Structure 1
Amino acid sequence: MAQCCRRWWDLDAQNGRESMRDDYLDYEEAFYSSGKRESRKERRQTQAKDRSKYKKTDQVKQEKTVTLGENDRRGRVLKISPDIITVTCDNTAFDCTLKGALKKEKTKQKNLIAVGDWVYFDPSQTIFHVEARTSFLRRAENLSRRKHQLIAANIDQVFIVTSLVSPKFKPLLIDRYILSAKEGNMDPIIVVNKHDLLMAPPENISADEAAAEKLVFEEFLEAYQPLDIPIVVLSVATGENLHELKALMENKTSVFSGQSGVGKTSLINAIFGSDLPIGPIALKTNKGSHTTTNAELVTLENGAFCIDTPGIKSFGLWQNDPAAILEIFPDFIPFAADCKFKTCTHIHEPECGIKKALEEKKLAPLRYASYLTLLEDTPPKEWE
């Protein structure tokens, strides 16, 4: 295997499966259960919210067509706080609450409403109906996957924001966002910020670290540029290619998503002259702080809307599906046709066209490494 391949995974001689290093996967602490006590508490809360004990007739009522009153209004959710849901209607913001009946609805969603939702509310500013979503971005609430968290709704495109050097570039997280974007009926766009730091890294980054980062970035571009996904390489500090990002946002609703510290909020401020709060990078950890605490829909010029989301270090996939994973790897298709078995997982089977392509350097090692990391979120029985 080529030297670049060895950087991405180690070969486990016992079972022949490549086990991925997590150097480029900073998992979010909150994504994992912190102990048995928290797990038991979560089970009790889930049972308390279980609506299966209610009559089916109660559930049918929720599915009926909603009757709108003369004074009812339609608006879009701008922001959600623990007690108030801010909805905009006719250029006016309303502080609304959610109707009790909606709160009782049985669902696998952690949150019943998301930023970007279109809703109806009555004169008392109570939301009584949420329109069906045309698109959404979501992630698993935790490893148990009993619930999923809606991050945003009714979006045209997702800007998958990454950074170079500070924080370190983590290409193996990108396909998680691509998969979720495709699942949620949105167009993914990869944005690589802080390009200037490759040539002028901060004082706490050595020249060797910057050189290694540059090599990883070059491997990424070689692997991902042939795909049908736009890649915008830019810098907030120098203004490099900010105009490209602004043009992509015109007359679109976009969501900026990515790790803390990659510069999501800074990009919005730089492009549109807004003053959303931003935070510094911690010198000891070289990671960003969670300055954006809640997702918020922001109205911008040129017909653009954007949603700035809190930074996350891992993106837990909701009910991961091997078939859906393969759909975002079109570069596998020419080689998968050479697999001996039609149900080949491209992991342990003999005469695998994908693994042969890797050995012959016809397929980018980074792409295969990303494929393996996504499969790690998929229970083995789903392949049966």
Structure 2
Amino acid sequence: MTKGRVIKNYNGYYYVDVGRENLVECRRRGKLLKAKILVGDELEITELGQDKGVIEALLPRRNQIRRPAVANIDQLLVIMAAQSPDPNRFLVDKMLMTCEYGGIHPTLCFNKCDLDRDTAEAYKAFYERCGYDVYLVSAKTGEGLDTLRALLPHRMTAFAGPSGVGKSSLLSQLLGRKDLSVGAVSEKIKRGRHTTRHSEIMRLDSDTYVVDTPGFSALDFEHLDPREVLRLFPDMLPYSGGCKFSSCLHLSEPECTVKQAVADGHIQAERYDTYCKILTSIAERKR
């Protein structure tokens, strides 16, 4: 059997990169009909010749994001805009939480920094204090693009962000492509130009991939056990070990080391506010 990576799926066909120029068009074995196969998944396939094959096994994932649905990425860049649309800190926090929930510590990238330098710099300073790498770029002026390009080699990088933040323009500038929805896979399957509705991997060279995603939605966290939420805040988690009560949720309990860290300025108040809002929404959903 041959190992490969799903580059794109289209109408029940999976286009698998096995290290050659041409992709292998695969269908599932019957035993895998109920399996959820994502772009980025690593597979074992049987090749049938003429770039056709059948999927035999889905290999274990290192990580995954649900929306957009993509697996086994090395890094994820959450793209926001410094202006138009204006960034919303609660939304940014929820997107970062979504990545952490999927097992990925993301990088933040604020596009359109030429439109509002002060806001971009303020967000950069805030989230760097939270332990995230933050880049300020502009697809329009080219600022910061060389720095982003330097992050790509020898990795699979997903670019994700809400609509309107300029993700497609940014990717077009980074990769020198005018139409990101038509790449190697689209040429392979001989389809016309279309809007990307699913995540698609673009292979830049033998071990460098970029994932173009159709959008990025923050998860609702109401299904979580309240005690799970803090692990989605890597800047807050280190302060949670010394509370008086082992069941402490860091809300109204006495002698809470997390609340003390907020009071001492070690945890930023806005991040703690997000944590409290999420716990409140969980409590309200369970009533």
Are residue 114 (structure 1) and residue 38 (structure 2) matched?
A: yes
Contact 2:95 2:218 in 1 (8 A): no
Measured in 2, the distance between the counterparts of 1:312 and 1:229 equals 18
Distance 1:117 1:354, change over 3 A: closer
Match of 2:187 in 1: none
How much has 1:353 moved relative to structure 2? 4.6
Distance 1:117 1:318, change over 3 A: farther
Match of 1:96 among 26, 30, 40: 26
Match of 2:88 among 170, 175, 188: 170
Match of 2:70 among 146, 149, 152: 152
Match of 1:76 in 2: 5
Max Rg structure: 1
Q: Which runs of 5+ in 1 are unaligned?
A: 1-67, 106-111, 140-149, 200-213, 279-289
Measured in 2, the distance between the counterparts of 1:104 and 1:363 equals 44
How much has 1:184 moved relative to structure 2? 3.4
Measured in 2, the distance between the counterparts of 1:358 and 1:125 equals 56
Measured in 2, the distance between the counterparts of 1:171 and 1:380 equals 22
Return 265-274 or 353-362, whichever deviates more: 353-362
Q: Secondary structure at the match of 1:344?
A: coil
Distance 1:135 1:309, change over 3 A: same
Q: Secondary structure at the match of 1:366?
A: helix
How much has 1:219 moved relative to structure 2? 4.9
Match of 1:341 among 231, 239, 245: 245
Are residue 262 (structure 1) and residue 262 (structure 2) matched?
A: no
Which amino acid in structure 2 is aligned with residue 344 of structure 1? C
Distance 1:129 1:376, change over 3 A: farther
Contact 1:223 1:366 in 2 (8 A): no
Measured in 2, the distance between the counterparts of 1:193 and 1:297 equals 22
**What per-residue deviation string (whole Å, max 9, x for no partner) do you get for residues 256-291 of structure 1?**
11211212222221112122348xxxxxxxxxxx95
Which amino acid in structure 2 is aligned with residue 134 of structure 1? R
Match of 1:372 in 2: 276
Match of 2:111 in 1: 193
How much has 1:326 moved relative to structure 2? 1.9
**What per-residue deviation string (whole Å, max 9, x for no partner) do you get for residues 289-330 of structure 1?**
x95311001012594211111113433359535444323435
How much has 1:244 moved relative to structure 2? 1.3
Which amino acid in structure 2 is aligned with residue 176 of structure 1? K
Are residue 297 (structure 1) and residue 201 (structure 2) matched?
A: yes
Distance 1:130 1:336, change over 3 A: closer
Contact 1:256 1:264 in 2 (8 A): yes
Return 186-195 or 73-82, whichever deviates more: 73-82
Match of 2:64 in 1: 136
Measured in 2, the distance between the counterparts of 1:176 and 1:301 equals 33
Match of 2:185 in 1: none
Match of 1:211 in 2: none
Contact 2:101 2:232 in 1 (8 A): no
Contact 1:162 1:170 in 2 (8 A): no
Return 368-377 or 256-265, whichever deviates more: 368-377
Match of 2:14 in 1: 85
- Name the % identity: 31
Which amino acid in structure 2 is aligned with residue 196 of structure 1? D
Return 238-247 or 74-83, whichever deviates more: 74-83
How much has 1:333 moved relative to structure 2? 5.5
Contact 2:222 2:282 in 1 (8 A): no
Q: Secondary structure at the match of 1:175?
A: helix
**What per-residue deviation string (whole Å, max 9, x for no partner) do you get for residues 318-360 of structure 1?**
9535444323435436765675534322223345454455556
Q: Which runs of 5+ in 2 are unaligned?
A: 182-193
Measured in 2, the distance between the counterparts of 1:164 and 1:319 equals 31
Number of aligned residue pairs: give it.
Answer: 269
Contact 2:201 2:209 in 1 (8 A): yes
Distance 1:361 1:190, change over 3 A: same
Match of 1:320 in 2: 224
Where does 1:265-284 land on structure 2 (aligned, <5 Å)? 265-277=168-180
How much has 1:237 moved relative to structure 2? 0.7
Distance 1:331 1:182, change over 3 A: closer
Measured in 2, the distance between the counterparts of 1:265 and 1:226 equals 28
Root-mean-square deviation over aligned CA pairs: 3.2
Contact 1:172 1:370 in 2 (8 A): yes
Match of 1:161 in 2: 79
How much has 1:236 moved relative to structure 2? 0.7
Distance 1:339 1:132, change over 3 A: closer
